[in-house]
């Protein structure tokens, strides 16, 4: 391997050493879409001195375009050339083809296969660009993580670990790696250019305005770490009793914790629903609600009552509208 090529790989290999090595023995699935980011991940892992037969490759056919099945099969074929055992999963076409619905279906299928293969971890190719885009999406009210929180390199999910070893790399770096390897057949989804999807719109916005990608990505990561550090403060205020969800708002509790507790309780009561439009009402409840008040929210009603006669602590109960 030439010196320049090795240097490009070495930076990625260092991250693989740190994030992937501890989990290889338990089985690891590389999730490869075939785009530049995931293709670079697969090619780097293939040349990684610590690669193992416990690492397998998975590509998902989302059935969003006529070409997606052939693209997934091409990824699987390339993986086999590189010495990986590979798999293709095809999702059934459905009416809901928005980004969040596709993501939920994709991960459900991935974890199902991971169970069959006894793989306890999956690796995905999210980059510094993805972190920056998620922060801007939240600022623009178009999605992203909670309060602009980005992704962590290692996330424990109920089904297993999600590993993101490329978060410190830009998409441009990964394309440079592929170019050095003379690999140009990675997939360039036309929807990334013409789609009206929210993430694609933000990606175009950032490319036009020359945003400081690294700084935005660092801010997103810091917000995620802050969010994870404090989340127990509001999660412990939420109780489910049968079909009811109740949220305690102690008098001494900071308003930001009250808001997050209300948001967590609402997500518990209405799982899987987009609740962004409820934020303004939840902020009102957190800042100025009184016993006896009720608030209409998307899909439910929030009723406020006194929790204690000694202070102004409150309890908010979510119920379905009559």
What is the pLDDT averaged over residues 267-279?
Answer: 86
DSSP 126-147: --HHHHHHHHHHHHTTS--SGG
pLDDT digits (tens, 9 = 90+) for 237-246: 999 888 889 9
For residues 304 and 249, give the distance between their C-alpha atoms in angstroms, rounded to a whole number: 10
What's the helix, strand, coil split of the chain in %, to 5? 50, 15, 35
Q: Is 95 within 8 Å of 134 (Cβ atoms)?
A: no
Inside any domain, residue 223: no
Inside any domain, residue 231: no
Cβ neighbours for 61, distance < 8 A, ≥ 6 positions apart: 68, 69, 71, 72, 88, 89, 90, 91
Examine the pLDDT at 190 and tell me if it is beyond 60. no
For residues 145 and 24, give the distance between their C-alpha atoms in angstroms, rounded to a whole number: 28
Instruction: For residue 243, give both structure tokens.
Output: 């079909």
Inside any domain, residue 225: no
Examine the pLDDT at 154 and tell me if it is beyond 60. yes
Are 168 and 297 in the same domain? no
Name the β-bridge partners of 86: 57
pLDDT digits (tens, 9 = 90+) for 282-310: 999 999 888 999 999 988 999 999 987 77
For residues 259 and 121, give the distance between their C-alpha atoms in angstroms, rounded to a whole number: 33
**What is the CATH number for 185?**
3.40.50.620
Are 176 and 250 in the same domain? no
pLDDT digits (tens, 9 = 90+) for 128-139: 999 988 888 888
E strand or H helix at 121? strand 121-123
Percent of the chain at pLDDT above 90?
Answer: 55
Percent of the chain at pLDDT above 70?
Answer: 95
Examine the pLDDT at 277 and tell me if it is beyond 80. yes
Count the neighbouring beta carbons within 10 Å of the beta carbon of residue 92.
7
Are 21 and 107 in the same domain? yes
**Res. 191 pLDDT band, cuts 50 70 90:** low
Q: Quick one: pLDDT at residue 194?
A: 44
Are 139 and 190 in the same domain? yes
Range of the domain at 289: 236-319
Backbone angles phi, psi at 256, to 5 degrees: -65, -35
The answer to which of 187-196, 271-280, 291-300, 304-313 has the lowest mean pLDDT is 187-196
Inside any domain, residue 91: yes
Q: Quick one: pLDDT at residue 23?
A: 94
Inside any domain, residue 55: yes
Are 64 and 198 in the same domain? yes
Are 77 and 154 in the same domain? yes
Inside any domain, residue 197: yes
Sign of CA dihedral 237, 241, 266, 232: positive
The answer to which of 167-171, 211-215, 253-257 has the lowest mean pLDDT is 211-215
What is the number of structural domains in the chain?
A: 2
Q: Determine how β-strand 28-31 pairs with β-strand 55-61.
A: parallel
Look at residue 153 and give its three-state secondary structure.
Answer: coil
Torsion on CA atoms 223, 226, 232, 238, rounded to nearest 10: -30
Instruction: For residue 271, give both structure tokens.
Output: 């799982």
Look at residue 184 and give its three-state secondary structure.
Answer: coil
Q: How high is the mean pLDDT of the chain?
A: 88
Instruction: For residue 247, give both structure tokens.
Output: 């949220």
For residues 40 and 24, give the distance between their C-alpha atoms in angstroms, rounded to a whole number: 19
* Block residue for tokens 């089904």: 159
Are 44 and 115 in the same domain? yes
Are 214 and 240 in the same domain? no
Q: Is 219 within 8 Å of 135 (Cβ atoms)?
A: yes
Backbone angles phi, psi at 29, to 5 degrees: -105, 125
For residues 174 and 39, give the distance between their C-alpha atoms in angstroms, rounded to a whole number: 9
Are 35 and 83 in the same domain? yes
pLDDT digits (tens, 9 = 90+) for 57-102: 999 998 888 888 999 999 999 999 999 999 999 988 776 667 777 8
Inside any domain, residue 229: no
Q: Quick one: pLDDT at residue 290?
A: 87
């Amino acid at each position: 391997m030439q010196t320049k090529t090795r240097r490009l790989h070495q930076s990625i290999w260092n991250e693989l050493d740190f994030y992937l090595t501890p989990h290889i023995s338990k089985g690891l699935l590389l999730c490869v879409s075939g785009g530049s980011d995931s293709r670079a991940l697969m090619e780097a892992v293939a040349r990684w001195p610590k690669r193992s037969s416990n690492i397998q490759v998975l590509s998902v056919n989302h059935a969003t375009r006529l070409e997606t099945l052939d693209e997934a099969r091409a990824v699987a074929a390339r993986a086999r050339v590189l010495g990986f055992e590979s798999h293709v999963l095809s999702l059934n076409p459905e009416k809901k083809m928005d980004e969040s619905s596709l993501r939920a279906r994709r991960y459900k299928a991935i974890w199902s296969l991971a169970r069959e293969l006894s793989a306890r971890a999956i690796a995905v190719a999210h980059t510094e660009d993805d972190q920056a885009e998620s922060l801007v999406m939240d600022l623009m009210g178009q999605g992203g993580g909670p309060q602009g929180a980005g992704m962590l390199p290692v996330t424990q999910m109920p089904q297993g670990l999600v590993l993101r070893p490329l978060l410190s790399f830009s998409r441009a770096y990964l394309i440079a790696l592929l170019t050095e390897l003379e690999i140009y057949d990675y997939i360039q989804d036309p929807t990334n250019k013409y789609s009206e999807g929210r993430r694609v719109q933000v990606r175009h916005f950032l490319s036009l305005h020359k945003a400081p990608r690294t700084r935005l990505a660092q801010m997103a990561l810091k917000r995620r770490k802050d969010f994870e550090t404090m989340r127990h403060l509001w999660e412990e205020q939420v109780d489910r009793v049968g079909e009811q969800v109740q949220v305690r708002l102690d008098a001494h509790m900071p308003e930001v914790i009250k808001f997050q507790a209300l948001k967590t309780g609402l997500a518990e009561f209405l799982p899987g629903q987009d609740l962004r439009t409820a934020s303004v009402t939840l902020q009102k409840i957190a800042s100025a609600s009184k016993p006896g008040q009720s608030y209409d929210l998307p899909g439910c009603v929030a009723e406020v009552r006194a929790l204690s006669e000694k202070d102004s602590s409150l309890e908010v109960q979510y119920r379905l509208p009559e």
